[in-house]
């Protein structure tokens, strides 16, 4: 199976989320000449690391065609439209863009689309054909250390997913400061990287993620994800990278 993990650089210093310096740069350029070409940011639609029918029968080709091909593509297209209006947000990695547009809890208009692009890229790579089963090696040991057992973790993940009110996501994250794993839920498009957590897994809990295959049976969708779809291979790689950054004592990414 092809594996194209989303490369999240947890160590990059974040450009300030105060965009005033960028606005000043743009103003200075525009004052110089009316004919200065504008270079704006543009992000492409990433392809899932499997064919669109690769997750059947647990997630149908039709569901992927709509969820990835329409919903996810829509977030990318809408983000690019927003970014095309000016060059203020040019030159950011997707991580940086999400953190910068979160704007310390006062999100800029671009935040929702930027975060949803990030979340969906990560979500496709959180699943694999023949997924499910259990994590192995270091990740399993860390889960057992932080949750008591894999069974406890699984119960916590499912319970947290089903307790989310409205649309959002459930995540397994590594808490950078506490150096422990935790299950967190986020509303709407919020991504835990804005709080400096390091995502290991996520599950889309927007209705568009499961309605075609599971109608209103969110519980069956969540249990199917755990039993047949979750990619512990991807999670293990992410955990290894995250642990390396945390153990190396990288400085906390400045949000302000």
Which tokens is 171 given? 């995540």
Q: Phi, psi at residue 8, to the nearest 5°?
A: -105, 115
Query: Residue 123 or residue 157: which is nearer to Fe ion going by CB?
Result: 123
What is the DSSP secondary-structure string of 27-85? Answer: HHHHHH-TTPPP-------PPPSS-TTTTTTTS-HHHHHHIIIIIIHHHHHHHHHHHTT
Instruction: Say whether 169 sits in a helix, a strand or coil.
Output: strand
Least CB distance to Fe ion at residue 236 (A): 24
Least CB distance to Fe ion at residue 224 (A): 16
Alpha-carbon span 42 to 23, nearest angstrom: 18
Query: Residue 69 or residue 148: which is nearer to Fe ion going by CB?
Result: 69
Least CB distance to Fe ion at residue 190 (A): 14
Contact 143, 181 (CB under 8 A): yes
Query: Cβ neighbours of residue 160 under 8 Å, at least 6 residues apart?
Result: 170, 183, 184, 185
Alpha-carbon span 114 to 83, nearest angstrom: 10
Is residue 238 within a helix (H) or strand (E), and if so which, with residue range? helix 232-247
Query: Residue 128 or residue 142: which is nearer to Fe ion going by CB?
Result: 128
Least CB distance to Fe ion at residue 121 (A): 11
Q: Which 8-state DSSP code applies to residue 144?
A: H
Least CB distance to Fe ion at residue 150 (A): 26
Q: Which residues bind Fe ion (CB under 5 A)?
A: 204, 206, 209
Contact 182, 173 (CB under 8 A): yes
Which tokens is 62 given? 């039709």
Least CB distance to Fe ion at residue 168 (A): 10
Q: Is 4 annotated as a binding residue?
A: no
Residue nearest Fe ion, Cβ-based: 204
Query: Residue 118 or residue 206: which is nearer to Fe ion going by CB?
Result: 206
Q: Is 21 annotated as a binding residue?
A: no
Query: Residue 4 or residue 73: which is nearer to Fe ion going by CB?
Result: 73
Query: Residue 147 or residue 221: which is nearer to Fe ion going by CB?
Result: 221
Q: Tell me the binding residues for Mn(2+).
A: 67, 120, 204, 208
């Amino acid at each position: 199976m092809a594996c194209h993990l989303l490369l999240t650089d947890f160590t990059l210093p974040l450009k300030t989320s105060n965009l005033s310096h960028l606005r000043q740069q743009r103003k200075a350029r525009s004052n110089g000449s009316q004919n200065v070409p504008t270079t704006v940011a543009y992000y492409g639609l990433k392809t899932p690391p499997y064919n669109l029918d690769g997750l059947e029968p647990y997630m149908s080709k039709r569901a992927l065609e709509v969820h990835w091909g329409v919903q996810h593509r829509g977030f990318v297209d809408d983000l690019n439209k927003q970014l095309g209006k000016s060059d203020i947000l040019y030159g950011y990695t997707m991580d940086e863009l999400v953190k910068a547009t979160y704007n310390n809890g006062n999100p800029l208009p671009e935040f929702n689309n930027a975060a949803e692009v990030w979340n969906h890229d990560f979500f496709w790579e959180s699943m694999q054909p023949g997924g499910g089963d259990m994590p192995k090696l270091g990740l399993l040991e860390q889960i057992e250390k932080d949750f008591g057992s894999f069974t406890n973790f699984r119960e916590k993940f499912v319970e947290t997913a089903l307790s989310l009110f409205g649309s959002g996501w459930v995540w397994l994250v590594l808490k950078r400061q506490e150096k422990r794993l935790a299950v967190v839920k986020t509303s709407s498009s919020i991504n835990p990287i804005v709080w400096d957590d390091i995502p290991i897994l996520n599950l889309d809990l927007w209705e568009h993620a499961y309605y075609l295959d599971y109608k209103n049976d969110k519980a069956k969708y969540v249990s199917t994800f755990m039993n047949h779809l979750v990619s512990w291979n991807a999670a293990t790689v992410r955990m290894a990278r995250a642990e390396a950054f945390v153990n190396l004592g990288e400085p906390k990414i400045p949000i302000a």
